[in-house]
Structure 1
Amino acid sequence: MPGIAEGVPCTRLLLEDKVALGSGASFWTTRAFPAAGIPSLTLTDGPHGLRAQGESGDHLGLADGTAATCFPTASALASSWDVGLVAEVGRAIGLEAVDQGVHVVLGPGVNMKRNPLCGRNFEYFSEDPLLSGKLAAAWIRGVQSTGTGTSLKHFALNNQELKRMSTDVRVDERALHEYYLPAFEIAVEEGDPTTVMCAYNRVEGVYCSDNRRLLTGILRERWGFRGAVVTDWGAMNDRPAAYLAGTDLEMPGNGGVTDAEVRRAVTAGLLDERVVDESVERLLALVARTTGRDVEVPADLHDRHHELARRAAVESAMLLKNDGGALPLQPGGRVALLGALAGEPRYQGTGSSRVNPTRVVSLRDGVGEYAAVDCAPGYRLVDEPDAALLDEAVRLAEQAEAVVVCVGLTEISESEGFDREHMRIPANQVALLESIAHLAERVVLVVVGGSAVEMPWQDCASAVLHVQLAGQAGGAAAADLLFGAANPSGKLAETYPLVYDDVVSSGYFGVDPHQTPYLESMYCGYRYFDSADKPVRHPFGHGLSYTTFAYSDLRVVRRGDDVEVTFTVTNTGGCDGAEVAQLYVAPRTGGAYRPVQELKAFTKLALTAGESRGATLTLDRRAFAIHDPEVGDRVVEAGTYEIRVGASSRDIRLRAEVQVEGTQPRRSRVADWYYTLTGTPTPEDFLTVHAPYPVLDAPRKGTFDLDSSILEMKDSSLACRVVHFAVERTVAKRFGGKVDYDDVRFKMLMYSAADLPMRAMVRMSDGVMTPRLARFLVDSANGHTLRGLWALLRRRA
């Protein structure tokens, strides 16, 4: 990069070149200016493996990319609670990026799991911001240790797939700063990502790409982010406004559609060219940080990474139940293996993170390494009853001494592009489990899936091993755990409720997708369940082992402004294992409303049988702080705080109190719900923690605009119905011409295309949807077809 190495300032570039640098050259690449020494960068999807597609334009995982190692998804990796392991996985992905000529990997995703039905939860780490942030920072450090860039996403408040391109999120200041932003903050401060990706949605009425408060006020000025902001693919709203907000790079390339808008804004004095220059400098810094890499890539790269994927899957799996020591099984025997998912594995999610794996090991393959296997599918992957398959499986189970059943979420259950409809596994799988419930003492369940599920059927078995979406080596890792070659050590990174109705937001999540007020504030996941003292199936942080652990010797000492917590963990069982010790802080100040306890530190200790080891965890003042909207910053309420150390949020082993100095506690003037958590929060309750705002009605005839989509407008005009039909048939051509909403990839692409705002469709359609045609369709949907047609024809003339 001679030009940059010589320090060529961006002011020596022409305005048109500077503007062009801020918009992609193609679907995956940035613009190159060889005369100025500026090469093109290649950006590629992640985050649980590389999805390099070359010149193909597909950000939804429909076309296979170059083969790469498929590691466990973020939801699984988070269950390892292992910062070092996540950094290793990150470095491996970075090395494969170097090998494939990729400069920036689009990940990690740290959006909070506000509700279990979010279709993309498998891509996100946790319902807890501390755990998410620490793991994200480790992943970033790992990737960037190879000179490869990362893109922390999706900033911010992208917590649902329904109307993700345009929904208007309303969130109170405390929830924003105490729950939804801290994972990003930790990742920025401790990981120093090269880029941050802005989300599609609006926040407080402003699209994220245009949101100066988020991108400049919080991200850059408060957190010190020094990298570039890139849009999610198609997330640009108003490019001149985005420059003013702090957005640097519009992706994907769209033939320079928006370049002219920026040049006109500069010429008219609406956008200072110095703002463009500052953005160019950030992009040049991105180029400098991600090119010229000198990293050795071993010849056996994929073999090494497959073994790492296997180890990561082992460390991430969770033993949720093990009555009577049903596990581990004895190697060398004979096992009845039931479930179609055992032979046709589901090991990753659907969408932009979908990896073309270098190889795949099914559960059937893995169990076959340890025992003789008799297999029966027991159910179809499509949720339809099949009596013959069920009867065959039951007969096999009744004749076997050991039965392993694989159940879980199938592809259509969770995906990018749409949210889940419920928390249940398919009914035909439940029918299989109920049919063998009388054999529970010899039945072991292996559960797959990237999101929380209702598990009333777990009583049909003696043991439950949850491997989630375990990556390409997941079948081998599950077998290692089933037969005792490895000891489970994973812990849940999200709460598993008894039923979906127990989730606080269940009654209003997705009800009005156009405007999304977070009525529950920061009470999500265990913050709600523990504070409301509501029973759960499996609590946050839960996970068993083949050994046992004892906690002792808790000491809490003040070290200046910090609080030092030390304790001892002892492996009291008969085999080696690892324990995740979790530290929660429980306020006793009687002041502002807040969760009854919050995770503030954790550590994972590997202990041989009988070994004891001390652990020291340090809490700074931030661990005791809340956000005070009146002062716009953190404050610590003076008073008593209980320090809790344990094996889960509901399994606290050690307690101690500490006195902390700070501001005088005061009870917030808010609705009682935020203190009592009785019932469900109402919009009226929400307005006591959030300022009044204009309530948006669902778009209807007469109110449609360029933020509306063909999916919304199709019932309002013949022209829109024709376009929707055309989109449907165009998508169907990729799947043999069949319109099939039971096909996860068809459904994902159809919703992603038909529910694009018209302004985004103009930019993403490669010229098929022109601005004039989009305007005509909006006019037609609003009942002004003739007027719109006249304007369309007149402009063409």
Structure 2
Amino acid sequence: MTEQPQPFRDPRLPFARRIDDLLQRLTLDERIAMLHQFAPAVDRLGLDAFRTGQEALHGVAWMGPATVFPQAVGLGATWNDELVRQVGEAVGNEVRAKRAEDDRVGLNVWAPTVNLLRNPLWGRGEEGYSEDAALTSAIAVAYTRGLRGDHPHYWRTAPVLKHWLAHNNETDRDTASSSVRPRVLHEYDLKAFRDAVRAGAVAGVMPAYNLVNGRPNHVSPLLSQQLRSWADRSLVVCSDAGAPSNLVDSEHYFDTHEEATAASLRAGVDSFTDHGQDSAVMTGRIRGALERGLLDEHDIDTAARRLLELRFSLGEFDPGLDPYANTADFDTADHRALAQEAAEQAVVLLKNDGLLPLDPAAGKTVAVVGLLADACKLDWYSGTLIHRSTPLDGLRERFGAEHIVFAEGADLVRLKCADGWLQVPAAGTGQDPVRGAEGALDPALIAGRTDLPPLTCGDTPSELALVDWGNGVITLREPDGRYLSVAEDGYVRASADEPGGWIVQETFRLEAVEGHAGGHRLLHIGTGRYVSVAADGVKVAAPGEELSGSGEAASATGAEASKPANALGTVFETEVTERGENAVARAAAAADTVIVVAGNDPHINGRETEDRATLDLPAQQERLWRAAHAANPRTVLAVTSAYPYALTDAAAALPALLWTAHGGQAAGTALARVLAGDVSPAGRLPQTWYASDAELPGLLDYDIIGSRQTYLYYEGTPLYPFGHGLSYSDFTYSSLTAEREGELLRVSLTVTNTGAVAADEVAQLYVRAVAPSVVRPLRQLAAHRRLHLAPGAGERVDFTVPVAELGHWDVAHGRWTVDPGAYEIQAGASSTDIRSVAVVTMGGEPAGPRPVLARGLEGADYDEQLATEITDRTKADGDAVTAVAENNELLYRRCDFGAGVRGVAVSASGEGAVRITVDGATALVPVPATDGPYDYRTRAAGISASGVRDLRVTLEGTVRLARITFTGDSE
């Protein structure tokens, strides 16, 4: 007789039945253990260990060699959903293939990032897709569908979206609060997550480090109120690394870790990423919360059930039925071709006065210059390159090496010490464990190389390539390409292939020394200490360490004189042997055409943990393109960067500009093929390029409506608008029609290639309310389609747009609404290049004024505000508003007071007063000190108002306003 399997092992049963069976077999301690990122095996039941979290943003990351696709913002620039789906599928297959060889590779992938690129100074802008919610969600849906696979029960990988919610700043990222009014929340920040989750290929989300409206995202009520209402299956919420501890340690939101852990678990966090692989700390906190009655077993089981459903979906319990179990697709010819195609499709032609494309057959000389001309830069979430193509590589291959001249443009310098010159010893041999270490679970733990001799000070100077990346941040590289770096032992060595690591050890700052003409100290940014020359080599000394060598800063004056010499570091004299712009000018003068490759290093000045300070291109790179252009007017600027730049002068002076995100392993080949005309560029900007820093709101200003942010509300003239991108061909838009069919709009148009070359075009569809009742977007993307058309060919393009996309969040009534009236359906080649317009009219009754007698007023439901911010009403739920300056105001438009009111009551905490003004009548409601910010009391005052009137509120003192209600004359 065949023994029946345990029910949880029986594939004939639905997952829910099997999970029920398994849960009741697990002990409480075993269920608690499952809630840590590194869940241990349960040997007695044959359960394997399980790990949440595998980085896969644009390829398998942190696990050694993998196919490296363009950065996420580059995938967004393709505006090609199907291409991105294919990329997701390839990445998912490589995750599976690597998992088969290394069980440290996880199948729960933490990707993609769907935070909206609201502010271009955000350090992690490279990780997102777009500033627009519709484009972001469309690309996210495509990528997650590829990662997930199309089997009805089993998933290739299980994608988790990052980072919930309203997260666009690295500055104070674990303590800053994003003030997000309800309209921005529903129309913008939630939308990118909502549409991706509803598409059904998302396994969960990761909360962000920041707070929203005064409450940490890891205890957000929106996880249950919004997120989990969008899906018909359970969603796993994985905490960000260390965030559970932040609730107490940095945010001070809770007094004890037991309270914090209980609150986050009850809010919806299922998997705790904290204390690395040591699960004992978090499981101990969970047990402590249980003992204190802050949790019960049902809370544990709810989270464990979600995690088990994830594991069942990944085929862990049915290896024989898992269709992805034997996936071996890794670094295949198809993957390499896809990486190249993605890099080609991501290139955006910003300007072209006819200089491009270049003709490789003409035999002309091309100068390839610039600090990124021979670079293939990676970012924090890249895999290790198997294949590598720089712009120089690509252009040599496409145009012939004999037709290419090259000049990097770095300044060549020598550093003089008191006893000689800074010199780099020979490298010797040996594998560099710092770069390309396969199988490293956490790059932050990789230590610097210590098997090389440190720099010394001697008679023979070493010539170093100095690159200024902006804000005074420099790198120094010796002639064979190795960067100066500082290892854990403090010595400076030429040991790094590229800048990188969680804390970059290859960046320095030259600081002028007062009273010492030409003298500089060299500050190592990673340690915050100065470089000193000692008898046993050049090092950054720990405070208080005595250095036995000579060459210390004996010339210190003033306040510096009281510091230990080693703390001040050695004074170096910098001798420039060649300016980079001179080398660039020589190369440019010797060529027919110049390609200047500029941009950023994704590990420097803008990355995770570090926001950018400016939109400006670094000054050294400005000098290079200007020198090239002065020597040769046929100069093209190709910007390879993770972010927009304010290229105002370059855009005015140069005949051609291109931009691409860092394009992964095929970046150089892709750029060369676009320059040669093998591919007509059709990338489109996924975010607005502003003309200067002055056009930007504050980094922490999340009110895109109030401060007129992104293309949706920006009323100025951008340098290059959202959706912009030129082609080597021309296209016309015609025969636009738009009709309502139930709850859908059916939109059709014809796009025709009227040019001479086959090319892609991105047809963009926008909607605009003609006479809105409230501030609405100038236009808003509703759909897009990337097309390939032969010369003279046309294609009829059909779009389906839900009528709800015409709507907005109505704060007056607390609901989503589509106002009656006329709406323009706009088709064009960018958000400002509209080629055809149709009008549709929505019927129905207007929503009417605010029913304040029936609903009262929630403090956060204002129409406009000045100098206030939204904060948490309680630690569990709700919003309140507080002032950030004395000159503050809240405006609530069109409040309907009916036949009249005679009194007003406010629910508020803190201490101060609430001043309410309606049509000239004012009530001052005192708020005596309450017992803390969450102790709300109701205070009343008299006021007379009738009819429909605007209401204004001013907050005094530390008041937190939760709600306002009114008493009618009839009461």
| TM-score bracket relative to the smaller structure | 0.7 to 0.9
Q: Residue 683 of structure 1: which of 857, 867, 877 is its match?
A: 867
Give the deviation of 1:222 after TM superposition: 4.6
Q: Which amino acid aligns with 2:61?
A: R
Give the deviation of 1:468 after TM superposition: 1.6
**Which residue does 1:333 correspond to in 2?**
364
Tell me if structure 2 keeps the 8 A contact 1:316–1:490.
yes
| In 1, Cα distance between equivalents of 2:235 and 2:269 | 11
| In 1, Cα distance between equivalents of 2:699 and 2:634 | 39
Q: Which amino acid aligns with 1:245?
A: A
Q: Which amino acid aligns with 1:199?
A: A
Give the deviation of 1:397 after TM superposition: 0.7
Matched position secondary structure for 1:264: helix
Give the deviation of 1:509 after TM superposition: 2.1
Give the deviation of 1:520 after TM superposition: 4.6
Are residue 589 (structure 1) and residue 771 (structure 2) matched?
yes
Matched position secondary structure for 2:658: strand
Counterparts of 1:508-527 in structure 2, within 5 Å, are 508-509=698-699, 518=703, 520-521=705-706, 523-527=708-712
Give the deviation of 1:333 after TM superposition: 3.4
Which region of structure 1 is more displaced relative to structure 2, 1-10 or 302-311? 1-10
Are residue 48 (structure 1) and residue 58 (structure 2) matched?
yes
| In 2, Cα distance between equivalents of 1:467 and 1:519 | 26
Tell me if structure 2 keeps the 8 A contact 1:337–1:403.
yes
Q: Which amino acid aligns with 2:112?
A: P
Give the deviation of 1:413 after TM superposition: 2.4
Tell me if structure 1 keeps the 8 A contact 2:869–2:883.
no
Tell me if structure 2 keeps the 8 A contact 1:48–1:71.
yes
Are residue 391 (structure 1) and residue 572 (structure 2) matched?
no
**Which residue does 1:284 correspond to in 2?**
308
**Which residue does 2:392 correspond to in 1?**
364
Counterparts of 1:79-228 in structure 2, within 5 Å, are 79-101=77-99, 102-145=106-149, 147-211=156-220, 213-224=221-232, 226-228=234-236
Q: Residue 669 of structure 2: which of 445, 463, 476 is its match?
A: 476
**Which residue does 2:283 correspond to in 1?**
259
Equivalenced residues, count: 658
**Which residue does 1:741 correspond to in 2?**
none
Give the deviation of 1:665 after TM superposition: 5.3
Tell me if structure 2 keeps the 8 A contact 1:581–1:646.
yes
Tell me if structure 2 keeps the 8 A contact 1:328–1:481.
no
**Which residue does 2:782 correspond to in 1?**
600
Q: CA RMSD in A?
A: 2.6
Query: Per the alignment, do residues 452 and 32 of structure 1 end up closer, same or farther by CA in structure 2, a change over 3 Å counting?
Result: same
Q: Deviations over 1:179-217 (max 9, x none)?
A: 111110011011431221111111222221112x22111
Tell me if structure 2 keeps the 8 A contact 1:425–1:453.
yes
**Which residue does 1:34 correspond to in 2?**
43
Tell me if structure 1 keeps the 8 A contact 2:391–2:672.
yes
Give the deviation of 1:408 after TM superposition: 1.2
Alignment gaps of 5+ in structure 2: 11-17, 100-105, 150-154, 248-259, 411-465, 475-575, 872-877, 886-971
Are residue 645 (structure 1) and residue 808 (structure 2) matched?
no
Counterparts of 1:720-739 in structure 2, within 5 Å, are none
Tell me if structure 1 keeps the 8 A contact 2:594–2:632.
no
Q: Residue 261 of structure 2: which of 233, 239, 246 is its match?
A: 239
Query: Per the alignment, do residues 558 and 696 of structure 1 end up closer, same or farther by CA in structure 2, a change over 3 Å counting?
Result: closer
Query: Per the alignment, do residues 278 and 685 of structure 1 end up closer, same or farther by CA in structure 2, a change over 3 Å counting?
Result: closer
| In 2, Cα distance between equivalents of 1:184 and 1:640 | 29
Query: Per the alignment, do residues 164 and 625 of structure 1 end up closer, same or farther by CA in structure 2, a change over 3 Å counting?
Result: same
Tell me if structure 1 keeps the 8 A contact 2:93–2:329.
no
Counterparts of 1:427-466 in structure 2, within 5 Å, are 427-438=619-630, 441-456=633-648, 457-466=650-659
| In 1, Cα distance between equivalents of 2:185 and 2:807 | 14
| In 2, Cα distance between equivalents of 1:520 and 1:628 | 14
Query: Per the alignment, do residues 161 and 2 of structure 1 end up closer, same or farther by CA in structure 2, a change over 3 Å counting?
Result: farther
| In 2, Cα distance between equivalents of 1:675 and 1:126 | 28
Q: Which amino acid aligns with 1:343?
A: D
Give the deviation of 1:229 after TM superposition: 0.7
Say which one has the larger Rg: 2
Counterparts of 1:541-556 in structure 2, within 5 Å, are 541-556=723-738
Give the deviation of 1:388 after TM superposition: 3.1
Q: Which amino acid aligns with 2:29?
A: E
Query: Per the alignment, do residues 234 and 300 of structure 1 end up closer, same or farther by CA in structure 2, a change over 3 Å counting?
Result: closer
Give the deviation of 1:631 after TM superposition: 4.2
Tell me if structure 2 keeps the 8 A contact 1:519–1:682.
no
Give the deviation of 1:452 after TM superposition: 1.1
Q: Deviations over 1:198-247 (max 9, x none)?
A: 11111222221112x22111101255562211111112232111121111
Matched position secondary structure for 1:558: strand
| In 2, Cα distance between equivalents of 1:282 and 1:381 | 50
**Which residue does 2:376 correspond to in 1?**
345
Matched position secondary structure for 1:113: coil
TM-score (norm 2): 0.65
Which region of structure 1 is more displaced relative to structure 2, 441-450 or 77-86? 441-450
Query: Per the alignment, do residues 3 and 394 of structure 1 end up closer, same or farther by CA in structure 2, a change over 3 Å counting?
Result: farther
Are residue 528 (structure 1) and residue 713 (structure 2) matched?
yes
Tell me if structure 2 keeps the 8 A contact 1:519–1:686.
no
Are residue 620 (structure 1) and residue 629 (structure 2) matched?
no
| In 2, Cα distance between equivalents of 1:300 and 1:263 | 42
Tell me if structure 2 keeps the 8 A contact 1:119–1:418.
yes
**Which residue does 1:711 correspond to in 2?**
none
| In 1, Cα distance between equivalents of 2:9 and 2:373 | 54
Matched position secondary structure for 2:295: coil
Tell me if structure 1 keeps the 8 A contact 2:370–2:409.
yes
Query: Per the alignment, do residues 251 and 278 of structure 1 end up closer, same or farther by CA in structure 2, a change over 3 Å counting?
Result: same
**Which residue does 1:75 correspond to in 2?**
73
**Which residue does 2:468 correspond to in 1?**
382
**Which residue does 1:13 correspond to in 2?**
26
Give the deviation of 1:402 after TM superposition: 1.4
Are residue 486 (structure 1) and residue 679 (structure 2) matched?
yes
Give the deviation of 1:81 after TM superposition: 0.4
| In 2, Cα distance between equivalents of 1:691 and 1:271 | 25
Tell me if structure 2 keeps the 8 A contact 1:443–1:460.
no
Query: Per the alignment, do residues 202 and 605 of structure 1 end up closer, same or farther by CA in structure 2, a change over 3 Å counting?
Result: same
Q: Deviations over 1:27-82 (max 9, x none)?
A: xxx33223334322343112111124xxxxxxxxxxxx311111101111101100
Matched position secondary structure for 1:152: strand
Which region of structure 1 is more displaced relative to structure 2, 450-459 or 415-424? 450-459
Q: Which has the higher helix share?
A: 1
Q: Deviations over 1:670-706 (max 9, x none)?
A: 9xxx9999xxx7415989xx96535689xxxxxxxxx
Q: Which amino acid aligns with 1:260?
A: G
Q: Deviations over 1:712-765 (max 9, x none)?
A: xxxxxxxxxxxxxxxxxxxxxxxxxxxxxxxxxxxxxxxxxxxxxxxxxxxxxx
Matched position secondary structure for 2:120: coil
| In 2, Cα distance between equivalents of 1:517 and 1:115 | 9
Query: Per the alignment, do residues 31 and 629 of structure 1 end up closer, same or farther by CA in structure 2, a change over 3 Å counting?
Result: farther
Q: Which amino acid aligns with 2:125?
A: N
| In 1, Cα distance between equivalents of 2:707 and 2:241 | 29
Which region of structure 1 is more displaced relative to structure 2, 289-298 or 394-403? 289-298
Q: Which amino acid aligns with 1:482?
A: L
Q: Which amino acid aligns with 1:509?
A: L
| In 1, Cα distance between equivalents of 2:812 and 2:22 | 42
| In 2, Cα distance between equivalents of 1:686 and 1:594 | 21
| In 1, Cα distance between equivalents of 2:468 and 2:8 | 55
Counterparts of 1:299-318 in structure 2, within 5 Å, are 301-318=331-348
| In 2, Cα distance between equivalents of 1:40 and 1:685 | 45
| In 2, Cα distance between equivalents of 1:255 and 1:298 | 32
Q: Which amino acid aligns with 1:117?
A: L
| In 1, Cα distance between equivalents of 2:620 and 2:883 | 42
